[in-house]
Structure 1
């Protein structure tokens, strides 16, 4: 019985063939000393490179008999591995030599897997991560796992071209470099990792961890050092992410509440982010987003730039401390912007807006929809782009005006005035088009206020 050898191939197909989870000790063993479970060998396609392994005989009393799990070499058992109460401990681990992982994900190009954990889960739960590794979080493949009851954790390192004699030692060096613990208890999948700082210091080794969980899992992630976090295509109720110096990448996420923050690194949102959103960066970290959608959206940076394409929200609040350039293509709903030092540029305003900078310029383009807009620069210029035709009540105050030829007729409405400090100012109170449709208030007491014609198409092309 012990000399029935099989050839196993295709690593990436092993997940869909595993009915229950076990612990498979491939780590640190030579190719002719592998331990696999006969229960898993429902097909002969498991690994991307061929290996020889012995069928492991199981007794019928698998629940209680713990004497059936052995190493085998040349058809003979070499040592007992561990007690195998498999139904009570649904998890397995696979460690294997380097091999390039075939994946369309850009983040995994040039990487090879060295370690794999699997847990049997429910469709709903929470993923908790506290580790210093690059983290990629993805939903399970629905076609392979329609019941959404598995979780996979895979470790990747840079792929290298080595001969077979060097693979084992190379693999051992990687496995000795980190410590990783996984557990699944009462709906919580917990991953805790450590790196030897006494050896590496603050340097991050090129280790990437791919986590695949049911699409509805909540996410709670904290990574240290230069580690990056990437979350894609999840539909969680709650997502919390905190990075230290690394990048946070969010892609097509639907959630009830999203809270993501990077202390000094950048934060980027691709596709659509939907839900109650709070995202931000500290230090010089920059914030970029394509489309934000939700009832309540908050974005903030300290001194990094903010670049957002479109915001659709009942209420949006954007804040920055200093040296910030805010570029916003369009905003819908009520939007409040407050920057201590920096410029504000909004191409298209479709709802109510309050945009204030203490030091810098403000430029906004308006559409001919009902709205209330207040644009203010304490020490800088303000530029207002009006549609043609426009139906707006203007209340403008500045040290001086610059009007395009389409609005030179407003010069006859200019009045001289002063503020409470008796600073000489110029004011315009005039209605363009129909009265009572939109109210536009602009303030540039220490700068020039410009009014120009701008249609929707030209604003999008700028």
Structure 2
């Protein structure tokens, strides 16, 4: 057990980093890190070369507590405690200090084994990078501090925060990402079987999504996905939905907002706008699909070779298009269903350059 205190404080200028305490542990390569702190937290594996220099290879976990502008007398009130269990496969970091003003200037850097499970509760900023544990659970309680994830591989990922979530490079695993208030969610590449991404009033922006089954929810924000692979469900109350390249199936329910989707390949597409908002669907030249379109203002590009069928229940107030788009010698199992009572529905053919998707290369 180690108590992080002011002993061994390295005196530097007020603006330079002051090391409050450094502790090291010899833990098993697989285990769990449990953090419950009021300060800013950074977690990543140790640099193997620095690890050898610091401990001759005996220790593999390091905890550093530092500050940039706290007086030495104040540091005595931090009361940070680090403790490893008797099996050396779990490390706990806690604090009995709830002084938010004091802790916002304190940083805790934790270098932990690569494949550790991680559980974090934090009242400051949180940064986690280059981990490959079985589980990652993060709860951040402040709305003005970001939560950043960089190059994460895990079996199950559960993130809940009042601020922004920023995922850079790769986020691999079955993940639930949730932010409250005005918090936004951005990601470079999400890859896994299941994703659930939720925001209140903030926007969601994902560059590349590879998911067997993905769900996106936003009450007052917009959702933008660059390259979308797999089955995806999107639910928006007031906001726009844009997908630059869809390869899979899509269900989109929008109360008020515009929808713009460019299709590369598809199985089933079902888009509905209940209130105000236009729908634009851009289809590849070689598409073959059953269609059912219902709206007050419908436009279908003539070059898409739409072949109508007689609707079973004609609607006098809305234009209905039930038939097949594309040239086919036989039947197709692909379906496109689009409904909008008040907005325009535009079914367009992609131009050749846009279909190459050169401007949106995957990361």
Q: Is the 8 A contact 1:117 1:154 kept in 2?
A: yes
Partner of 1:267: 165
Partners of 2:102 and 2:285 in 1: how far apart? 57
Partners of 1:345 and 1:180 in 2: how far apart? 46
Give a deviation string over 1:338-370, Cα, whole Å, max 9, x none.
Answer: 122211111111011111111112111101x34
Secondary structure in structure 1 of the residue aligned to 2:182: coil
* Aligned Cα root-mean-square deviation (Å): 2.9
Partners of 1:423 and 1:261 in 2: how far apart? 48
Among 125, 128, 131, the residue aligned to 1:228 = 125
Partners of 1:406 and 1:98 in 2: how far apart? 72
Partner of 2:33: 127
Partner of 1:297: 195
Secondary structure in structure 2 of the residue aligned to 1:352: strand
Give a deviation string over 1:297-344, Cα, whole Å, max 9, x none.
Answer: 111111211001111111111112x21110011211111111222111
Partner of 1:443: 339
Q: Is the 8 A contact 2:32 2:90 kept in 1?
A: yes
Bigger radius of gyration among the two: 1
Partner of 1:247: 146
Among 23, 29, 34, the residue aligned to 1:117 = 23
| Counterpart mapping for 1:61-76 below 5 A | none
Among 68, 88, 91, the residue aligned to 1:189 = 91
TM-score (ref. length: structure 2): 0.86
Partner of 2:319: 426
Instruction: State yes or no: 1:279 paired with 2:173.
Output: no
Secondary structure in structure 2 of the residue aligned to 1:173: helix
Return closer, same or farther for 1:456/1:180 CA change in 2, 3 Å cut-off. farther
Q: Is the 8 A contact 1:127 1:190 kept in 2?
A: yes
Q: Which 5+ residue runs of structure 1 have no aligned equivalent? A: 1-20, 28-93, 101-108, 160-169
How much has 1:290 moved relative to structure 2?
0.8
Partner of 2:295: 398
Among 182, 195, 211, the residue aligned to 1:313 = 211
Return closer, same or farther for 1:306/1:22 CA change in 2, 3 Å cut-off. closer
Give a deviation string over 1:261-299, Cα, whole Å, max 9, x none.
Answer: 10x211111111111111110111111111100111111
Q: Is the 8 A contact 2:170 2:188 kept in 1?
A: yes
Partners of 1:237 and 1:23 in 2: how far apart? 28
Q: Which 5+ residue runs of structure 2 have no aligned equivalent? A: none
Partners of 2:120 and 2:353 in 1: how far apart? 41
Q: Is the 8 A contact 2:244 2:262 kept in 1?
A: yes
Partner of 1:63: none
| Counterpart mapping for 1:11-410 below 5 A | 27=7, 94-98=8-12, 111-145=17-51, 149-158=59-68, 172-185=72-85, 186=87, 187-195=89-97, 197=99, 204-224=103-123, 227-245=124-142, 246-262=145-161, 264-320=162-218, 322-367=219-264, 369-379=265-275, 380-404=277-301, 406-407=303-304, 410=306
Secondary structure in structure 1 of the residue aligned to 2:201: coil
Partners of 2:298 and 2:2 in 1: how far apart? 75
